[in-house]
């Protein structure tokens, strides 16, 4: 099953590289959202350190949602998705490949640029490290949960709005623990417990989300 998994990842990454504008749109949106708040609130370091975790995480959450609708829609339109569902390999394996490719395209750039944006908020090295780890644990979970919503709204009119309504409530625990890890580190309490919860949510999502997404895709294609 490793070979079809790697094939799906290579295929989706190749397609993404041909449509670089989608990647830059997500990244630019994240940069703009995070960078506007220091300009509007002012240069007070204590205030910026206090609001930084929530702003960075809300920006990452909203930016990751921009690419969710395209996770399966292009394959649905050209018939590739139907062919994938007919392959002898488990559909959940193919779903994992598409989710991983989505994270590599939309999640990894956000993780890499977040520490640079955190400099605007006068965060310490420990806070930057906590932010990086929390995003590494949280952004894959956003892609896994978002895949369920993308599959459920596949082919629907105004699917983007419905997708947001479906996944946003499920994103709230990731947002709370992700921002909480950085906030606890900034205040000196330590964010290990929040990071542990993020890891637990990631493991649970990794087990359940591909199965739920595969079932939703079968329903959408039927």
pLDDT of residue 151: 86
pLDDT of residue 63: 87
Q: Distance between alpha carbon 70 and the CA centroid of its chain, in Å? A: 13
Q: Are 106 and 138 in contact (CB under 8 A)?
A: no
Tens digits of residue pLDDT in 44-76? 777 888 888 888 888 888 888 887 877 887 777
pLDDT of residue 171: 92
Ranges 47-51, 103-107, 127-131: which has the least confidence: 47-51
Query: In terms of pTM, does the model score above 0.85?
Result: yes
Residue 8 backbone dihedrals phi, psi, to 5 degrees: -65, -45
List the structure tokens of 112. 């890499």
**What average pLDDT does the chain have?**
84
The residue-averaged pLDDT of 137-161 equals 84
Tens digits of residue pLDDT in 12-46? 888 888 877 777 888 888 888 888 888 888 777 77
pLDDT(158) > 70 = no
Q: Are 60 and 110 in contact (CB under 8 A)?
A: yes
Question: Can you give the residue ranges of every domain in the chain?
Answer: 2-221
Burial (Cβ within 10 Å: 0-12, 13-18, ≥19) of residue 24: exposed
pLDDT of residue 153: 83
Evaluated on CA atoms 172, 174, 177, 179, the torsion sign reads negative
CA atoms of 16 and 10, how far apart (whole Å):
10
Confidence of residue 222 (pLDDT cuts 50, 70, 90): low
């Amino acid at each position: 099953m490793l070979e079809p998994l790697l094939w799906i990842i290579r295929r989706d990454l190749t397609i993404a590289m041909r449509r670089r504008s989608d990647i830059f749109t997500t990244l630019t949106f994240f940069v703009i959202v995070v960078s506007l708040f220091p300009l509007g609130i002012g240069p007070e370091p204590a205030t910026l350190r206090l609001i930084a975790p929530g702003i960075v995480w809300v920006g990452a959450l909203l930016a990751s949602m921009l690419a969710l609708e395209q996770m399966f829609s292009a394959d649905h339109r050209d018939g590739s998705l139907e062919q994938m569902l007919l392959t002898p390999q488990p559909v959940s394996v193919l779903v994992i490949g598409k989710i991983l490719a989505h994270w590599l395209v939309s999640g990894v750039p956000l993780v890499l640029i977040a520490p640079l944006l955190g400099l605007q908020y006068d965060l310490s090295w420990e806070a930057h490290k906590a932010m990086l780890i929390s995003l590494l644990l949280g952004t894959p979970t956003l892609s896994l949960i978002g895949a369920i919503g993308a599959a459920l709204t596949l082919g629907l009119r105004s699917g983007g709005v419905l997708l947001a309504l479906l996944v946003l409530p499920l994103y709230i625990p990731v947002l709370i623990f992700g921002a909480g890890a950085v906030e606890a580190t900034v205040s000196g309490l330590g964010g290990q417990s929040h990071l542990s919860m993020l890891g637990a949510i990631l493991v649970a999502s990794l087990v359940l989300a591909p199965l739920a997404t595969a079932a939703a895709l079968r329903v959408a294609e039927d």
